[in-house]
Structure 1
Amino acid sequence: MNIETKHVNTITIMKLGDTDRLYALNANIAKEKMNEILSQSKTQLVIDLEKINFIDSSGFGALLSALKTSKEHKSSIKLCNINHEVMELIELMQLDSIFDIFQDQATCVNSFLSKE
């Protein structure tokens, strides 16, 4: 799995490349990268899920692990560009109440910048 990261001001934007799935075969790689970034105190991380069409329990576990790491290190994680099918799963699992979710990357990044 190719994980792309870029920086906008103090914000790290992470995209999962080379796949349209966050699942058992690649969730651990994504989890390690997210936790590595979020373990640095007060990090701001945007996870852009634009190309992801499917997330299984391992993928959701990776996202929840990242959320836990962010809270432990006073960092922040936000999700964006979630397609309709994946959003339905997120809502079904009621994860939309614990993650900050935005329609697109620009809005997500701006939500961090407006708090500075």
Structure 2
Amino acid sequence: MESENTEGLDRAFMALADPVRRRMIARLSRGPASVNELAEPFEISKQAISKHIQVLEHAGLVTRTRDAQRRPVHLDPRTLESLTAWIDRYRLLHEQQYRTLDAVLGSISTDQPSTTRPRKDD
């Protein structure tokens, strides 16, 4: 089960490594879009856009449905939620470590006597 989840995370992170696909995900976060709508801001072929969509589908980040002649692409939030949960787990761990370090450093600075000596006036 863990390896399946790891493979899914790997596919999703690899898919999101490409800036075109990240921009497509950002566009789909506002709602479904056709291939033509997704291709609009890019100066690449529709075939290249279709390949990007396939990578996103394989990673579980998007799905396609059939609506008469249209096949809109939809964002699948479940995979993004898995990515967020994975990131949060490590973020929370590191935040706890930093809080512990802050507490240790705070106790050191209050436990040690001042090393500065008063100046003697001449």
* TM band (smaller chain): under 0.3
Q: Which is helix-richer, 1 or 2?
A: 2
Q: Which is strand-richer, 1 or 2?
A: 1
> What is the TM-score with the length of structure 1 in the denominator?
0.26
> What is the TM-score with the length of structure 2 in the denominator?
0.25
